Each structure stands twice: as C-alpha cells, then as structure tokens.
Amino acid sequence: MPMLHGWSNFFIMAGTAGATLIGLLFVALTVGTGFSTVRGLHSTRAFLTPTLVHFGTVLFQCLAVLAPWPSMWPIGILLGLDGLAGLAYQIHVILMQRKVAFASPDRVDWVLFSIAPALGYTSLTVGGVGLIAEKSFAPYAIAGAIMLLLFAGVHGAWDLTVRIARNRDKT
C-alpha cells in the first residue's frame, strides 16, 4: 500500500499509546471505586466512557491501518464508517455531558471534551474517503484524527482522575 508507506512507525507508536492509556484508565477507575454513587455513574457514562472510546478508536485505527489490505478501498470504507460512527457517538456524548451536573468544566475542558473529538472523528471520515479516492492527504487526515483523539483522551483521563481524587475525601 504505497499511500501508507512510511507511516508504520507512527501507527505502531500511536496504537501502543492508545493501548497503554486504556490500561491506565482502568487503573484510575479502580482507584476511584469508592466514587460509585448515582451521580458518579452518570458522570462515568458522560465523561469516562467517551475517553475509553477515544482511546479504543485510536487502537482500532492503528491496528486496521497496519493490517495487510489488498487495496485502499476496504480500509478507507472501514475508517470512514468508524469516523461517522464516532461523530454520531460524540454528538450523543456532548448532549449527555450537558445534562450531567458532575462538574462545571471551563472552555478549555469543553473544547477538549467536545470539539476536539468531533474534529478527530470528522478527520477520520475525511481520511477514509481520501484513502478510497487515493488522495495524498489521507494519511495526514488519519494521523490528525489519531492525535486529536489521543490528546482529548489524555485530557479527559487526567481531568477525571483529578476529580476522583478530590471527591474521594467527600465520600
């Protein structure tokens, strides 16, 4: 696949980061087990689960791109559909996060919780279509999606870990 030639190291590193961050997210969740109130459950669905989905999407993208596909079509369709599904899920997440009285995130938080993942999933969709059309921007769009989802996930995981640590003393 000449279009993705030279990108292997990027996808291996990003996939490893996604997998590692999924593991660390489970550690953070284990530390915060005393935080399992009704409010905590709604907050988990609104903030923790999307962070896990972002990391899982990164891992999925990287594994999918590294597979030996016979042409760009199957991977383009797969990533394009993944991007569309992620965008639909992110819209659902934004609506859910607005209803949860878990915290009052500032503008930077809302950008990283809402806008960055939406842009990442949009970029993934564009990258998938670009692979199908064999456009040179496609690997860059996919890499941009991966970076946006990783950074949004890292911010989400950090923010949730800090909130869990603060609320541990209150339970």
- At a CB cut-off of 8 Å and minimum separation 6, what does 79 contact? 61, 64, 65, 124, 125, 127, 128, 131, 142
Q: Which of 6-15, 35-44, 93-102 has the highest mean pLDDT?
A: 6-15
Q: What is the pLDDT of residues 28-73, one digit of tens each?
A: 777 666 555 555 555 666 778 899 999 999 999 999 999 999 999 9
State the Cα–Cα distance between residues 163 and 133, nearest whole angstrom: 44
Q: Is the pTM of this model over 0.85?
A: yes
